Amino acid sequence: MRKKGALIKLASKRYLVLMIALVATMALAPLAFAQTEEETPPPATTLTVSTPFPSVAVEPGDQVSFDLTVAAPAQVAVELSAEGVPEGWTAAFRGGGFEVDSVTAGPGLEPEVSFDVTVPASAAEGDYDLAITANGGGESVRIPLGVRVSTQAGGEVTLTPNFPGLRTPAGEAVTFDVELANGTPADLEFELAPTGPSGWAVTAELSGEAQAATIQVDAGGTETINVEVTPPFQAEAAQYPITLQATAPGTTVETEMIVEVVGSFALEMSTADQRLNAEVTVGSSNDFQILLTNTGTAPLDNVVVGVTPPSGWEVGFDNQEVAIGPGETVPVTATITPSEEAVAGDYQISFTATHEQATDSMEIRTTVNPSAVWGFVGIAVIALTLAALAWVFRRFGRR
């Protein structure tokens, strides 16, 4: 009986333990299920479509492009569609140079596609809401887009010279550096048209690229244009306007620069008959006329006349310092006195005309004639000789 009671007691204890375990399991089961449910991550979206600038501003009559990135973990065809395009506007998906309706996305595939929207010139200013929908692999992705139409949104093109005015002598080139800035959202190709006064040489070219007929300026970019201006040598001292015009489709800009010509400096020394020789006589002074001509366009003040004569000779001037206006000719008389010891022959005399901006010189071949006194002496000697011979013949001829 005791053994039987012990068995019953043991069975009761086992039954009690099983019941407690069962109750504990039932109590903890919801918590375990809830924890499992919380730790399970939500399913990932497989199809993604994005654009870096979903809201833009544009001028009436312009076009805007939304660059799209389409990605999927597995290769899938993605159909594209647009909604909310206002009446009169045009919109299209483009890729590979074509208008497309769908793209293929997947691992290693990065299709280049854009959503191009053309706003008519008649579009009213304001905000417009559009959207792109992509469907592929049983999924659908929608991207809202915003277009703000404003007459001030397109940016502008500007031409800005580094200096508005430069100074140069006539006949010498001067160069302006002009910055062409494209503040619009589109790449533009410009034609350049420089103009200046008649007879001037004016060229415009992209910095570092000679003889470029047109230049390409990226959206938001700038380029430097070299404008070289050469006034003719005869240009008078004054200020002259130089214009540069840059033209692209639908855009024309212009800027003006000033070139101040300070005049050219040129001096010419000559003689009245253009002969470079003179004759002088020993024992007397001889005048020789020199002509000084201002062949430039600027006045020549304080032109100094100089001379380098042979040793022992003297040369003086009636006016050794003169002022000459543009195009004028001023005569200067040189008085040449040869040395008393000079013998008959040719000598060189160097004349110079000097200004701080111009100079000229000439060599004169000077022929020295004997003194007239010696001529008379010679004649007298000859006459005396003839008289003496006549006397001799008379005296001794009778014998």
pLDDT tens column, 221-280 = 999 999 999 999 888 889 999 999 999 987 899 999 999 998 888 999 999 888 899 989
Rounded Cα distance, 179 and 160, in Å: 5
Pairing of strands 139-149, 55-58: parallel
Residue 98 in any domain: the answer is: yes
Residue 256 in any domain: the answer is: yes
Residue 217, phi then psi, degrees to nearest 5: -120, 120
Between 35 and 158, the more confident residue is 158
Residues 6+ apart with CB under 8 A from 377: none
Residue 341 in any domain: the answer is: yes
Residue 52 in any domain: the answer is: yes
Question: Mean pLDDT throughout 292-297?
Answer: 91
According to the model, what pLDDT value does residue 33 have?
44
Band the pLDDT of 203: cuts 50, 70, 90: very high
Q: Is 232 exposed, middle or buried (0-12, 13-18, 19+ CB in 10 A)?
A: middle
- The average confidence (pLDDT) of the chain is 85
Residue 143 in any domain: the answer is: yes
According to the model, what pLDDT value does residue 7 have?
47
Give the model confidence (pLDDT) of 54-64 as tens digits. Answer: 999 888 888 88
Q: What is the CATH number of the domain that holds 163?
A: 2.60.40.10
The residue assigned the tokens 């022929």 is 367
Q: Which of 332, 265, 262, 331 is nearest to 295 (CA)?
A: 265
In terms of domains, do 103 and 138 share one? yes
Which of 354-363 are b and which e, b meaning 16 or more Cβ less than 10 Å from the residue's Cβ? ebeebbbeee
In terms of domains, do 131 and 178 share one? no
Question: Mean pLDDT throughout 17-28?
Answer: 56
In terms of domains, do 170 and 117 share one? no
Give the model confidence (pLDDT) of 307-343 as tens digits. Answer: 999 999 999 999 999 999 988 999 999 999 999 888 8
- Of 126, 149, 172, the residue that ends a domain is 149
- Of 261, 281, 316, the residue that ends a domain is 261
Residue 189 in any domain: the answer is: yes
Residue 396 in any domain: the answer is: no
- Of 261, 283, 316, the residue that ends a domain is 261
Residue 255 in any domain: the answer is: yes
In terms of domains, do 256 and 164 share one? yes
According to the model, what pLDDT value does residue 50 have?
92
In terms of domains, do 314 and 340 share one? yes
Rounded Cα distance, 245 and 198, in Å: 17
In terms of domains, do 236 and 278 share one? no
Looking at the chain, the whole-number percentage of residues with pLDDT higher than 90 is 57
* Domain residue limits at 27: 1-40
In terms of domains, do 4 and 100 share one? no
